[in-house]
Structure 1
Amino acid sequence: MVVAFIGFFLGLGLLMYFTMRGMNIIFAALIASIVVALTNSLSLEKALTENYMTGFTGYFASWFLVYLLGAVFGKIMEETGAANSIADWVKRVIGAKHAVFAVVVACSVMAYGGVSVAIVAFAAYPIALSLFREGNIPHRFIPAAIVFGSISFTMTSPGSPEVQNLIPMEFFGTKPTAGGWVAIVVAIFIIVTGSYAMKFMVDRAIRNGEQFDAPKVVMENLSKLESVERKLPPVFFSILPLALVVITLNISAQFISSVGAALLGLSVGCAVGLATMYKYTDQYRAMFTKGAENAVVATVNICAVVGFGAVAQQTASFQMIVDGLVALPGMEYIGLALAVTVIAGITGSASGGLGIALPILAPIYNLQGLDPNAMHRISALASGGLDSLPHNGYIVTTIRAVSNETHDRAYKPVFVISVVVSMIALALAIVLYSIF
């Protein structure tokens, strides 16, 4: 069993190491899955052709259309000049020097409005690109700004429509606003601490001589856009598609599935964007072609990590880890938090951590008479801690597929914002709920 445990964590460690070193996430996940399967006495053929591919294809089938429309929507915003128009408006209102703050706010409004994080990343990046370039802020901080606005406080705070805040409702019989004043205090803590951390890191980078310095492929694309003198669409027409995505999604979600609502909202956004801003671009083929390419890359990146998680869940090592976390004596909220965040870290998925831990833990803790609202909020916060390790699918997608960055350049600020700050906030929540 010692070999199995060593192999399990070696596979997880290799996945994170290879991801940080820039290896293609598909090969990194496959290598990690092979290591885990061989050291845990799984049939290699079954682990890869059944477990891995079931996880891989299951995620692809569920979410590819959302990523496709999200990526196309992002390209429409970019190619029509809508993103630049919004960026110019933001610069006039608050100034380019507050670009990071503007991106965080834009992402949080979309995420709290119910827009899938995958859509948020694609929609926000063109705006962030223009703002960061104008403010001469290092491009490598764009992923951190997007992540901060889309999956930190917005994913785990009271009232959030994100799935990580909704899953605990099923197990604790609570509402999306569960957690009381402690939840609000912790959300404010994440916002304030995360904002300070972002400002500190960006200011230090600028003092050290860093500039916009975007990757070559980004600069080439910017050069092509600037080579043609263009008129930007009015800011009203630029914001309208974004607003309609949020409004349509939230209204339709009351009557159809969340995926169906996302598809409808994005379809409306794309249609309105093209209808109102068609005269500001002639790159229609490029919008759909590049959008489709981006969608495939983004979806497959996440599918690869989900596949690894599916293999890991088949091992005795994984089950023993789960059982050990469940059996932690007398730790109540701490045991719940550890179980959710550790499993989220292993699977590279916040919803995965909740989906595996809560069916086992919730019945046990419910019988102990613990506050269900506190357990709801702690579970949600815990899912947003170690889930953001380098191999997390959304992190990989935002850094590589959306921003064309590398983990080596861009992951450190993401780690500070989405792991360090989130884990401190989780500890604060546990202390406050234990006292009050």
Structure 2
Amino acid sequence: MPAYLEAFGLIASLLLLITLVMRGMNLLIAAPLCALLLAVISGMPLFPQLVEEGDPNFVGTYMDGFTDFVASWFLMFLLGAIFGKVMEDTRAAEAVSKYLMDKLGPRFTLASVVGACAILTYGGVSLFIVGFTVFPIALALWRMSDYPRRFIPATLAFGSVTFTMTSAGSPEIQNWIPIDHLGTSPLAGWEVSLIVAVVMIATGYYWLKWMVKRAVARGERFDEREGDPVLVDRDTPNPYLSLIPLAVVLGLSLSLHHHFGTSALIIALTGGVLTAYLLGRRFVKDIWETAGSGTTGALLAIANTAAVVGFGWIARDTEGFQAALSFMMEVGGETTPLVGAALSVLVIVGLTGSSSGGMNIVLPEIGPNYIGQGVDPSALHRVAALSSGALDSLPHGGYTVTNIRIICGETHKAAYPAAFATTVAVPLLGAVVAVLLFSVGL
């Protein structure tokens, strides 16, 4: 098939996926539908019965990608969602968020919300739980500061899916997926990671602050809406005690990694669940109901991610994608291979709208090649993780849709420009800085 037709198939299927998701279609329907379009345009046989065993076909390849991701990461998603739900129901997440709000106040509205999201995310709480927990607090601060509420999604996302999600030491799976493929640790490239995090925090925060101030200067104000959640003044646990479960997750994941690899994350999240429950059990009516609610959230999250991973596997098996991947690896060449690695991760993550799903697809393809060239696995780990946190926040990204539409009740038209700045442009800058720092030998 001509290369231009392959390229057209990739672009058309991606644009259709973005359009369908932005119009509200469920990812579990949109992703396989767009994967089918890509398979047809690429001339891929539809059923396993039409090919030799092991050869690419739409049904087999799509479901292999879907099930492979679920098999590898289901327990992490499950325990992460339960941990987040326990932190929510024991009011520990609320206590940490309120403490920051009380200490910083309306004068530091943006810093309060970003800080609360960052602490919870770096402590291992699910991104979606963080959003639902912090949103009512953010809304109260926005009301007091009279800020345009369309900037809340960008602020929540900046604290959740940028400098914390992909930094060294983070228990989020975006920092753990490269471990199995590259033989590294969750602290890989921590020196560069620390510098990049500072750059991302400073750039994103002041950019966000500038956008809000400019909107206020134009006359935009906070608008009350019917059904807005009200921040209830209720009893919460001690905020310092509420930080202990987060510390347990971080401590166990980092200390046990050398003995258990990625399974250390299972132990760490289990420890976090038990610690959070023991410290806040007086607030929990039924622990099994809490766990069941977390399980439902985990199933939805991993199913949505696996759905776009299946789309990515179809894309991976097209000649157009393989040609594009080869081209990007050649861009870096032997002198700057990290550039090729970053570009490869960016493209597949952009196709799938999932940082975790994209890395699971591309790292087995590029990891052995680059390590064989003598690339430092720790540098490759950190560049891949940082790059994965950029184009995963395109309009069709699962977290982006949930954050803007479900958590905050905004539209893409109103909220996405600011979200693009904080969750796409800033992480892209971070990836560039990381490549430069590793290239000069830091």
Instruction: Confirm or deny a common fold (TM above 0.5).
Output: yes
Residues 129, 142 of structure 1: 8 Å contact kept: no
Matched, 1:387 2:389: no
1:173-216: CA deviation from partner (whole Å, max 9, x where unpaired): 766555586554433211110111222233344444242657x6
Among candidates 30, 44, 50, match of residue 60 of structure 2: 50
Q: 1:427 is matched with which residue? A: 432
Q: CA RMSD in A?
A: 3.8
Matched, 1:35 2:34: no
- 1:312 alignment partner AA: A
d(CA) in 2 for partners of 1:363 and 1:32? Answer: 30
Which is worse superposed, 152-161 or 32-41? Answer: 152-161
The Cα of 1:124 is off from its aligned counterpart by 5.4
Q: 2:161 is matched with which residue? A: 151
d(CA) in 1 for partners of 2:380 and 2:253? Answer: 29
d(CA) in 2 for partners of 1:269 and 1:401? Answer: 30
Sort the Cα spacing of 1:254 and 1:90 in 2 relative to 1 into closer, same or farther, 3 A: same
The Cα of 1:335 is off from its aligned counterpart by 2.6
Q: 1:317 is matched with which residue? A: 320
d(CA) in 2 for partners of 1:364 and 1:267? Answer: 39
1:326-382: CA deviation from partner (whole Å, max 9, x where unpaired): 233747343332222222222333344444444444555456566666545433333
- 2:315 alignment partner AA: A
SS of residue in 2 equivalent to 1:152: coil
Matched, 1:8 2:10: yes
The Cα of 1:40 is off from its aligned counterpart by 0.9
Residues 66, 309 of structure 2: 8 Å contact kept: yes
Among candidates 336, 350, 358, match of residue 332 of structure 1: 336
d(CA) in 1 for partners of 2:70 and 2:381? Answer: 29
SS of residue in 2 equivalent to 1:427: helix
d(CA) in 1 for partners of 2:248 and 2:29? Answer: 38
The Cα of 1:12 is off from its aligned counterpart by 0.9
Q: 1:195 is matched with which residue? A: 205
Q: How does 1:348-427 map to 2 (within 5 A)?
A: 348-366=353-371, 374-400=379-405, 406-427=411-432
1:79-107: CA deviation from partner (whole Å, max 9, x where unpaired): 55544443432232111342432332333
d(CA) in 2 for partners of 1:248 and 1:356? Answer: 28
Q: 1:122 is matched with which residue? A: 129
d(CA) in 2 for partners of 1:157 and 1:82? Answer: 23
d(CA) in 1 for partners of 2:69 and 2:377? Answer: 30
Sort the Cα spacing of 1:258 and 1:400 in 2 relative to 1 into closer, same or farther, 3 A: farther
The Cα of 1:153 is off from its aligned counterpart by 2.3
Sort the Cα spacing of 1:309 and 1:332 in 2 relative to 1 into closer, same or farther, 3 A: same
Sort the Cα spacing of 1:145 and 1:69 in 2 relative to 1 into closer, same or farther, 3 A: farther
The Cα of 1:291 is off from its aligned counterpart by 4.4
Residues 340, 382 of structure 1: 8 Å contact kept: yes
Sort the Cα spacing of 1:238 and 1:376 in 2 relative to 1 into closer, same or farther, 3 A: closer
Sort the Cα spacing of 1:122 and 1:254 in 2 relative to 1 into closer, same or farther, 3 A: farther
- 1:413 alignment partner AA: A
- 1:12 alignment partner AA: L
Matched, 1:102 2:112: yes
1:57-78: CA deviation from partner (whole Å, max 9, x where unpaired): 4434554555455445545555
Which is worse superposed, 419-428 or 172-181? Answer: 172-181
Sort the Cα spacing of 1:298 and 1:175 in 2 relative to 1 into closer, same or farther, 3 A: closer
The Cα of 1:245 is off from its aligned counterpart by 4.5
d(CA) in 1 for partners of 2:377 and 2:86? Answer: 44
Q: 2:53 is matched with which residue? A: none
TM-score (normalizing by structure 2):
0.78
- 1:313 alignment partner AA: R
The Cα of 1:264 is off from its aligned counterpart by 0.7
d(CA) in 2 for partners of 1:418 and 1:426? Answer: 12
Q: 1:186 is matched with which residue? A: 196
d(CA) in 1 for partners of 2:178 and 2:326? Answer: 20
Sort the Cα spacing of 1:383 and 1:16 in 2 relative to 1 into closer, same or farther, 3 A: same
Of all paired residues, the percent bearing the same amino acid is: 38
1:252-278: CA deviation from partner (whole Å, max 9, x where unpaired): 656551452254134314522552434
SS of residue in 2 equivalent to 1:197: helix
The Cα of 1:134 is off from its aligned counterpart by 3.4
Sort the Cα spacing of 1:33 and 1:365 in 2 relative to 1 into closer, same or farther, 3 A: closer
Q: How does 1:232-247 map to 2 (within 5 A)?
A: 232-236=236-240, 238-247=242-251
SS of residue in 1 equivalent to 2:331: coil
- 1:5 alignment partner AA: A
Q: 1:17 is matched with which residue? A: 19
d(CA) in 1 for partners of 2:83 and 2:368? Answer: 42
Q: 2:307 is matched with which residue? A: 304
d(CA) in 2 for partners of 1:77 and 1:429? Answer: 33
Query: Unmatched 5+ residue regions in structure 2?
Result: 49-56
Q: 1:89 is matched with which residue? A: 99
- 1:24 alignment partner AA: N
d(CA) in 2 for partners of 1:65 and 1:400? Answer: 27
Which is worse superposed, 136-145 or 15-24? Answer: 136-145
1:1-39: CA deviation from partner (whole Å, max 9, x where unpaired): 232321221001111122233332222213211210110
Query: Unmatched 5+ residue regions in structure 1?
Result: none
The Cα of 1:309 is off from its aligned counterpart by 1.4
Sort the Cα spacing of 1:405 and 1:263 in 2 relative to 1 into closer, same or farther, 3 A: farther
d(CA) in 1 for partners of 2:256 and 2:186? Answer: 18
Q: 2:220 is matched with which residue? A: 209
TM-score (normalizing by structure 1):
0.79
Sort the Cα spacing of 1:186 and 1:263 in 2 relative to 1 into closer, same or farther, 3 A: closer
SS of residue in 1 equivalent to 2:163: helix
Q: How does 1:231-310 map to 2 (within 5 A)?
A: 231-236=235-240, 238-247=242-251, 249-250=253-254, 256=260, 257-272=263-278, 274-278=280-284, 287=290, 291-310=294-313
d(CA) in 2 for partners of 1:435 and 1:234? Answer: 46
Residues 164, 380 of structure 1: 8 Å contact kept: yes
Sort the Cα spacing of 1:97 and 1:108 in 2 relative to 1 into closer, same or farther, 3 A: same
